[in-house]
Amino acid sequence: MMDLDQLTGQVVKIAGEAGFFLREQRKCFRPESVIEKKHYDYVSYVDKETEKLIIRLLCGLLPDAGFITEEGQGVYSGETYCWIIDPLDGTTNYIHDYAPYCVSIALQKGKELLLGVVYEVCRDEYFRAWKGGGAYLNDERICSSQTKEINKAFVGLGLPYNYEKYRLFLNKLFPCLYGFTSGIRICGSAAVNLCYVAAGRFDFWLEAFIKPWDFAAGALIVSEANGIVSGLNGHTDFMEGHHILASSNQILHENILNLLANFTEDIEF
């Protein structure tokens, strides 16, 4: 039987090695090394080399597991276990030497998330969780907030690269939040945003047009911190989609879903 606690600890060490590489490379990083994958969606040798490092080290833990990775260097062919990796979530932040950015690693069996680790490099913070084991920031157990009303919530939002499809939705959502909540922040990393919900720093966060490597690890961390995660339409099979809402508790989550129901037709589900 797999010891998820022990395995999570080993993944934390791997995330730390990857984070060390990111930190060292940032000292000599040159903008000319950046490639634009899509409009304003960037990648550099740092992303690719970090991903190679993570894959190599994870293969030593579960040699038969597959990989789903942002830069496409891993292979998934229906294996029982699958690692879901974002070697550098917050690439644009990294390019501009702007915090935060992180390493995100999750393990999935079928449709079930087993563990998640997010290492926020700039603040040297390790967020981790495993199924049924709770969520932790470094060595301290964390729990999401008990804020239940939207007008008292401190909100995190994401701005995906698919701005043309997201703009209609955001143009309706933002006026409902700006001036009607405790505050709104956009930090540039989906994985970090999710961990901030888990740690009670944000009360809720949402984004669309993102991929499983952006949110897999963070979603489990939120769930194990007593938070709630679903699609923007309330569906719990969020891993199959591109949109996600993470809230600190069930009451707040339902209040947000009721708000979103007024204009989710502007999102392609």
> If you write DSSP's letter for every residue of 176-218 in order, what string do you get?
HHTTTSSEEE--S-HHHHHHHHHTTS-SEEEE-S--HHHHHHH
Name the one residue in this structure whose structure tokens are 């979530």.
89
Q: What residue ranges define each of the domains in the chain, with the CATH number in brackets?
A: 4-141 (3.30.540.10), 150-266 (3.40.190.80)
Question: First CA to last CA across the chain, in angstroms?
Answer: 37
pLDDT grade, residue 163 (50/70/90)? confident
Per residue in 104-113, pLDDT tens?
A: 999 999 989 9
pTM of the model: 0.95
pLDDT at 73: 79
DSSP state of 152: G
Whether omega for the bond prior to residue 100 falls within 30 degrees of 0, making it cis, is yes
Per residue in 169-178, pLDDT tens?
A: 999 999 999 9
Q: Say whether pLDDT at 269 is over 70.
A: no
Cα 178 from Cα 132, distance rounded (Å): 36
Name the one residue in this structure whose structure tokens are 């508790």.
249
Per residue in 186-245, pLDDT tens?
A: 999 999 999 999 999 999 999 999 999 999 999 999 999 999 999 999 999 999 899 999
Q: Average pLDDT over the chain, rounded to whole?
A: 93
